[in-house]
Structure 1
Amino acid sequence: TEPLPAVLDPLRSPAACKQFEIAKGDLDAGFAEADLVVEGTYTTGHQEQLYLEPQAAVAIPREDGGVTIHGSMQCPYYVHAAVIRALALGRDRAVIVQAETGGGFGGKEDYPSILAIHAALLARKAGRPVRMTYDRHEDIAATTKRHPSVVRHRTGVTRDGRLVAQDIDLVYDAGAYTTLSPVVLSRGGIHAGGPYACPNVRIRARAALTNTPPNGAFRGFGAPQSEFAAELHLDRVAEALGMSPLEIRRRNAYREGDLTATGQVLRESVAAVDVLEAAADASGFERVRAAHEASREAAGTGAVATWVGHRSATGIGIALGWHGAAFTGGGEARLASVASVELSADGRIRALAANTEMGQGARTVLAQVTAAALDVPPEAVEVIPPDTSIVPDSGPTVASRTTMVVGGLLATAAAHLRTDVEAATGQPFAASYPAYVRYHGALRATEQFHGFPGISWSDENYRGDAYPAYGWASAVAAVDVDLDTGAVRVRSVVQAVDPGRVVNPVLAEGQVEGGTLQAVGYATLEEMQVAAGRYRNDRLSTYLVPTTLDAPRIESILVERPFSGVPHGAKGLGELPMDIPAPAVVAAIHDATGAWITDLPATPEKVLAAIIEAEGRGREAGR
């Protein structure tokens, strides 16, 4: 039998691992009301997580037939579930210990389970410890990437810039296996309209299966793809109206009381306008953009912006985004995470949770949240390293949930512990807990998550409260473009974010800076080349990422709008800064050149081709 032809194009795939539709209002009536309809198609490619430490696991066989595994991972209990299923073990015969991990960015959410199973099987067969560590080539070749996407927008708008209809189609390339594609697509689809009020919306989303390497989790989890399309398309709508990109966002950005495409009422902590104005003010967006326009008019250069050297131009762009905190819909309630705070027999305060330290500062933040609830200094709290034989299952370190959800569990458990100690001693906890331990022994308080109050969601029809809260971000990027080569240099990015109440400002700024630089790479450099269903550039010599020499000046602005659903008011920050610098960079390229880049990354070849096309249109218009 002849083999069937390979399916490499997601738009041609007959199979999907997930598809759904979100509908709100009357789409036909919305387009009938519109004074202008704008259409566009936007595409993005793969992105490699490129964590510093590659995938690694050590499996140690036990005399009882079980196994202990130490590994580089984000989700110890995910690995635990996979290992006991694959090896047919009882829960207590597999122990998973997270080794402090050198970066993850989503790439160590699901794949460590595969490596752990391989190592465990080899250890069982050999009867000896087995270590497996991928080299960089193996790691890039084997692991999942950010999903490529094709997003089509058709938008109806009134003359005064009010959105009245959004018709959006998303197709994400899942690759050959399902992995996490259904939930990645869910987040991408829910965020596809951007943080804008529109009465009539239809979003159709599909995760297509192709004969290519599977794709999975990456920081942002589907939102960067759909928000790139939403933001760039809104800029094109603004240009068609003769309106500034800042003004159209001001007029349409969500406010408290607005209704999302899923029918969720945004009741609190809605900071879209706040972050937009903060980023615009700090960057001087309106002043700089007006100067560019004046320079163009004075020079008679049409689309080409302010000259900064021989055949080069500078531009500025703005974007606005949102990111749902924690798992989509009822995911957190189903997970039923557990965390504990205890006074040990030797008088130590211990925070027990399975969430992992990967360089993002989770251990520090969880200690601070616990300490604040107990009114003790953070250094008095010991956060126990994740070990499934010691810590409860507080869920995975994903979805911007660690500070908000797990921090909330620890804060609540700590408050219960404090109440019990103070009731027994009649003294403040900080002064009395050593004496309590001497007279009463160890004490533990455990808290389980049962869902956020007032949250209702339907997985069947994508209606209701998609997330308990949203983080908000706005980015302004400034770029220089070489008009002869298409090379883009990102000079600066100002990003204002609202992660709720900030627990640790230094770590928060670090998250913004890291996410911004990762997004700059996504926008300009990072491109996996796929041929015949395989990666061609699976080495660091051929997959380009920003270095320190490529890093722009990054300014982080923290806008705090606390969320009342958790004791400490945090909403999460890990993914939010990744979502919208890319469209800001591409908008800045347009401001500099008049060219629209609708396919990420904006490599020199693509930029130069777009410049030539834009200059050709300019010459035709001038005839």
Structure 2
Amino acid sequence: MEDRLFSPVGASCSRIEGWEKVSGTARFTDDIAVPGAWFGDVVRAPVCRGRLREIRFDPAFDWSRVTVVTARTLPGPNVVHMIRDDHPIVAAEEIRFLGEPVVLLAAPDRAILAAAMAAVHLDVEELPALLSLDEAQERLALSREHVLASYAFSGGDTASALAGSDLVVEGVYRTGHQEHMYLEPQGMIAFPGENGGVEVTGSLQCPYYVHGALTKALALPPERVVVRQAVTGGAFGGKEDYPSVLAVQAALLALASGKPVRMIFDRRTDIRVTTKRHPSLIFHRTGVRKDGTLLGAEIDIYLDGGAYVTLSPVVLSRCMLHACGAYRVPAATVRGWALETNTPPNGAFRGFGAPQSLFAMERQMDRIAAELGMSPLEIRRKNALRTKDTLPFGQVLEEEAGASLVLEKAVALSGYEALKAAPKFCRDERGRCVWRGVGLSLFLHGGGFTGSGEERIAGRVRLTADEEANVEIFVSSTEMGQGASTVLCQIVAQALALPLGKVRHVPPETGLVPDSGPTVASRTVFVVGRVLVDACRTMLRRLEAAAKEWFDTAGRKVYSKDGYFFAGEERLGDMATLLSRYVRESGGPLTAEATYTPPEGFFWDEATFSGDAYKSYSWGADVACVDVDATTLEIRPRKVTTVLEIGRAVNPVLAAGQAEGGTLQALGYAYLEDMGYGGGRFRNDRMATCLIPTAVDAPEFAVRFEELPTRHGPFGAKGLGELPMDGGAPALLAALEDALGVFCDEIPLSPAKLLEKLAARKKRNCAKESEGDGA
């Protein structure tokens, strides 16, 4: 028999769930037929802040036809369990944002439901509202009343570093809301179960988060609550927090009515009330030498958390820990606050705070370069992090740092220096007069939960094998379009030396799969994949022990290699054969479990916010080429070169898709995705007006992966999903600066805002000319 070496890791295998999606046979939440299901909806607050004086139910309506839930009729506490239990299921007395739930309704058909919604009248006393991050930041100096979370850390003597600098450069940077705009809006179907229990099926990315929220809100034991993930059409973090809100609402209506209840948002409702990326206001003071060496930094970060905490503390912490970017800063003080406003709560979004602070740091580096008369490339080369450097919060980069590697590869691959020297005013391929520029960014992203987060989660996995040597993966990690079902199977197939077709990812359902942690923080491959490898090793050890009993090994060492088991040099059989025999002789499936084990040598102090923040870092560099229409100021990204160091690309094609998709999402964040926010509401609340990049807007992409394998990930792999979100926005604004000669420090940068920048520059130039004439 010939040797069979299975190497799925590193191969561009087809997506396991791909055919269902392209053929239209995949059933998303709204596709699931539930005979007899009722429809649920929410009566929402009409003001940004107010006192709920009374809920009036029109006596002319027949209320016996519907189910009504208010704060007074809840079976458990009025709270959606998240990091902090401050988020009510429905408003009881105080209203804190426009669109906050007040009354839950369910009816047997949509017509009755619509009539019931119209028959509910809210008597609300409107109160003054806090609607902007700027105002919240100004109030902070007077009171800490509106602080949702705050942290600070310092490394080195920042005051002395700034005092001893040749130049101190200051900058203020702003980022706005960003809508997830997943393909499928939020949706849940709740089923009343036996003995007062409940089952919920829906579009979500963290089954056990939803499970925890349901058990608390419904005052039910865990075993009487079941959460299933339906096929999920995208998430980007937006289905980490909000599904808990919607699941609790649907479950309450199902239990109260005794009927299954569907709650599926239309796009307009989804945009209006679900969480968004936190807007940010970031102040930088950076001390440098004349040669461009960074000496010290003082950074103050303010995030708009909205009306409730949701995930703001962990978004803020990651935002702060990435605030100095991929650069050596010998002394730094970073302070951060997540502030409360009377706007819809903000939550998780791809990058989880890092895109905001990395945007500010990259723009600050460009500002420093301009002040010193240096090129953006030169100042990055001088200050890029190296192996053994110490980060401001005390972590030493023990593994090889990839900052210089990705920077130089991106510069060479894109021809950055030639593009930088090229004429700025030209005609594009359509014959239009354009201003053309090029910009770059350098960035990093920590994989997994911050600090000791993975230790607290202690994620668990389980594998089972049947008589046909088919292996099933039981984890709470979800497939939501990013390819988890494929890459996790590739990892297990590699570890067990089985064909990929022999491995299956079981759709997550609480009670059926162990809690391996949420599908967030670039941890699915990096953390869960590593725990799965540990479970595979347990399975192999059991087969090795069984082989000793089955064969005459005469004291020889039994081991597995390349899909076969050996006793010394003698081959005993292949993996599939021994696996099948084990299951047959034991009379049941072979099961192996594993729990996350923290690597040695890592330490994190939550009290001082210092230590080893992440087990490994991924690195990236972007070079963006941009055209600006000389007549309309339309911004058009032409080409983006992105080089990412991710340890090991488990599936290069899927990884490239993540790189391109994340980078396009970052470009949209930079110049296109203006939510039209004002007065506590999002004016652009439909896909016709809430614009995101489409295929027409996508630039040409050139993606390259570099590999510096980490010992902490499966087969050397690191986190990838969030990394591409970090570099596109600052690279695009740097390219606009190169094209037009104006420095932009705020996103999203619409043509209108760009026109304001150009007008301000013209006014300054005219003033300088007037001064010169006067002299």
TM-score of the two chains, using structure 1 as the length reference: 0.96
Q: 2:757 and 2:501 mapped to 1: Cα distance?
A: 55
With over 3 angstroms needed to count, the CA separation of the structure-2 counterparts of 1:351 and 1:241, relative to structure 1, is: same
Deviation (angstroms), 1:347 = 4.2
Q: 1:620 and 1:286 mapped to 2: Cα distance?
A: 33
Q: Secondary structure at the match of 2:698?
A: coil
Conserved? CA contact 2:675–2:690, under 8 Å: yes
Aligned to 2:131: 8
- 1:526-553 deviation per Cα after TM superposition (whole angstroms, max 9, x unaligned): 0122222122221112211111111111
Q: 2:484 aligns with which of 362, 370, 392?
A: 362
Q: Secondary structure at the match of 2:249?
A: helix
Deviation (angstroms), 1:4 = 5.0
Deviation (angstroms), 1:487 = 1.6
Matching residue's letter, 1:356: T
Aligned to 1:396: 518
What is the aligned length?
Answer: 612
Conserved? CA contact 1:166–1:198, under 8 Å: yes
Deviation (angstroms), 1:307 = 6.1
2:645 aligned with 1:498: yes
After superposition, where does 1:317-328 map in structure 2 within 5 Å? 317-328=439-450
After superposition, where does 1:65-80 map in structure 2 within 5 Å? 65-80=196-211
Conserved? CA contact 1:166–1:202, under 8 Å: yes
Conserved? CA contact 1:59–1:116, under 8 Å: yes
Aligned to 1:139: 270
Q: 2:126 and 2:288 mapped to 1: Cα distance?
A: 49
Deviation (angstroms), 1:240 = 1.1
Q: 2:524 and 2:442 mapped to 1: Cα distance?
A: 24
Deviates more, 1:433-442 or 1:312-321: 433-442
Q: 2:343 and 2:200 mapped to 1: Cα distance?
A: 30
Conserved? CA contact 2:282–2:301, under 8 Å: yes
Matching residue's letter, 1:603: S
Q: 1:196 aligns with which of 327, 331, 335?
A: 327
Q: 2:150 and 2:592 mapped to 1: Cα distance?
A: 42
Deviation (angstroms), 1:424 = 0.9
Conserved? CA contact 2:527–2:713, under 8 Å: yes
Q: 1:283 and 1:584 mapped to 2: Cα distance?
A: 13
Q: Secondary structure at the match of 2:336?
A: strand
Deviates more, 1:509-518 or 1:548-557: 548-557
Q: 1:194 and 1:110 mapped to 2: Cα distance?
A: 27
Q: 1:433 aligns with which of 576, 579, 592?
A: 579
After superposition, where does 1:440-459 map in structure 2 within 5 Å? 440=586, 441-459=588-606
Q: 2:743 and 2:393 mapped to 1: Cα distance?
A: 30
- 1:216-235 deviation per Cα after TM superposition (whole angstroms, max 9, x unaligned): 00000001111101001100
Deviation (angstroms), 1:614 = 2.5
Conserved? CA contact 2:525–2:713, under 8 Å: no
Matching residue's letter, 1:418: L
2:505 aligned with 1:374: no
2:611 aligned with 1:489: no
Q: 1:424 aligns with which of 540, 546, 549?
A: 546
Aligned to 2:558: none
Q: Secondary structure at the match of 2:253?
A: helix
Conserved? CA contact 1:485–1:608, under 8 Å: no
2:57 aligned with 1:57: no
- 1:551-577 deviation per Cα after TM superposition (whole angstroms, max 9, x unaligned): 111111111111112342111111000
Aligned to 1:343: 465
Larger radius of gyration: 2
Aligned to 2:116: none
Q: Which has the higher contact order (CA 8 A, sep 6+)?
A: 1
Q: 2:307 aligns with which of 173, 176, 183?
A: 176
Deviates more, 1:358-367 or 1:613-622: 613-622
TM-score of the two chains, using structure 2 as the length reference: 0.77
Structure 1 unaligned segments of length 5 or more: list them: 296-303
Deviation (angstroms), 1:49 = 0.2
Conserved? CA contact 2:491–2:714, under 8 Å: no
Aligned to 1:299: none
Aligned to 1:565: 712
Conserved? CA contact 1:340–1:413, under 8 Å: yes
Conserved? CA contact 1:31–1:165, under 8 Å: yes
Q: 1:47 and 1:537 mapped to 2: Cα distance?
A: 11
Conserved? CA contact 2:411–2:623, under 8 Å: yes
Q: 1:608 and 1:162 mapped to 2: Cα distance?
A: 34
2:627 aligned with 1:480: yes
Deviation (angstroms), 1:57 = 0.9
Conserved? CA contact 1:471–1:573, under 8 Å: yes
Aligned to 1:575: 722
Q: 2:177 and 2:599 mapped to 1: Cα distance?
A: 34
Aligned to 2:111: none
Aligned to 2:249: 118
Conserved? CA contact 2:626–2:636, under 8 Å: yes
Q: Secondary structure at the match of 1:29?
A: helix
Structure 2 unaligned segments of length 5 or more: list them: 1-50, 52-124, 141-145, 548-571
Aligned to 1:217: 348
Q: Secondary structure at the match of 2:623?
A: strand
Q: 2:759 and 2:259 mapped to 1: Cα distance?
A: 63
- 1:167-226 deviation per Cα after TM superposition (whole angstroms, max 9, x unaligned): 111100001101100100000011011110011101111101111111000000001111
Q: Secondary structure at the match of 1:64?
A: helix
- 1:10-43 deviation per Cα after TM superposition (whole angstroms, max 9, x unaligned): 2234411111111011112211221111111010
Deviation (angstroms), 1:430 = 3.5
Aligned to 1:605: 752
Aligned to 1:242: 373
Aligned to 1:301: none
Deviates more, 1:251-260 or 1:453-462: 453-462
Conserved? CA contact 1:342–1:417, under 8 Å: no
Conserved? CA contact 2:386–2:400, under 8 Å: no
Deviation (angstroms), 1:127 = 1.2
Aligned to 2:735: 588
Q: 1:454 and 1:521 mapped to 2: Cα distance?
A: 40
Identical-pair percentage: 50
